Amino acid sequence: MGALTIAFDTTIVGALALPWVLLVIHLFFFEGENRIEEALKWVKDQQVQAAAGVLVFALTYTLGSAVSRTAQDFFNDDDLFLQVDGHLLRGVTENHILTRIYCDNDDDNHLLRADPRDSTLANKIKDFRAQKSVCKDPLKWWVRQRDEKTQDNFIGIAADIFGLQENALMVKGGDYTVRLRQIHDQVMVLRGAAFNGLIGLALCLFAWGDMLRRERLHSWMRWVLMPSPALYLGAGLIALRHHFTEGLPPDPPFMEFTLLLLGGVGAWLVWTRPSPQMAGQTHSRGQESPANKTGAEQETGTKDFWRTLRWGRLAALSAILALAAGLGWWSTEVFYAEQVIYSYNSQVTAAAEK
């Protein structure tokens, strides 16, 4: 049953990735939608729905596995930061959130306890408390560079404590472990949904910029979207440089690859994508002044405007869904970590009272 649950959650993440996969097909393969429609019709005519269902499940599970692993690294990668005037400008990672939770629970409730037989966890908690002066910094966006190694070491200790407590609970089993698995599954699905939403948002923005460029519409959004691929490329290169600063790291550069790939896709769409068959007509229309345009041409320009605005609405929808899923992941991540702390503490207390 546990294996089926994992497969089910992974498949959900893969299914949530299908919208941006179809968007890629629409943007890069002009006959792609027609081919998909023909394939679905062939499956129906040949009565091979069962085999097609197995294939779709396999593809969705594979896609979900890749997206889940990439999303986990994407939301817990500390390689993306800027060095400015002796300070670091950085984002919030999963380990930063865990560190803040452990700081708050040890300060207010003193819930960090270790099984006397688990010397490794006891030593980690001792090290954590010895460096608790760092607790004020884990979630700061702007920190002093000279404190970087100290904070990274402290955050790593908190992550080790969480991993040891989580594994100890999973080994014990029991009803509360089932509850923890359910919350962990929610974390995985929401994290994957947020990642899929960010990918969809980027593709919609690039498609919007591509339409504005090819339709020669004089809109301020065109100039806002034009540099957007450079932002992804710049962020990917910065993170890649930091990733390999100390040689070959043990973990692959998932986030860096994602940012660079999105930047390359955006550069092709927004800057260099070939115009469609009507490009010549669009170009000549764009060179004419509004005073020389006929009523039909002005009507066509209005239709072009509303067609490009469709991508803006899709981008807004993707942003809202990504933000909602991201906030849900953050809240569930906090809830899950607290449940791990409370469950482990109650287990140690019950064992001590026997």
Q: How confident is the model at residue 292 (pLDDT cuts 50, 70, 90)?
A: very low
Q: How confident is the model at residue 218 (pLDDT cuts 50, 70, 90)?
A: low
Residues of the domain holding 250: 2-74+187-286+294-328
| In the chain, % of residues over pLDDT 70 | 75
Domain-embedded: residue 97: no
Cα–chain-centroid distance for residue 185? 16
Domain-embedded: residue 126: no
pLDDT in tens, 223-274: 888 899 999 999 999 999 888 887 777 788 999 999 999 999 999 998 887 7
- What is the chain's Cα-based Rg? 25
Which residues fall within 8 angstroms of residue 322, CB to CB, at 6 or more apart?
A: 193, 194, 196, 197, 198, 200, 201
Domain-embedded: residue 81: no
90 CB-side CA count, 13 A: 26
Domain-embedded: residue 320: yes
Instruction: For residue 350, count CB atoms less than 10 angstroms from its CB and return exposed for 0-12, middle for 13-18, buried for 19 or more.
Output: exposed
pTM for this entry = 0.83
Domain count, the chain: 1
Q: Are 259 and 232 in contact (CB under 8 A)?
A: yes
Question: For the residues 107-124, what does the mean pLDDT come to?
Answer: 80
pLDDT in tens, 294-323: 544 444 445 555 566 788 899 999 999 999
Domain-embedded: residue 348: no
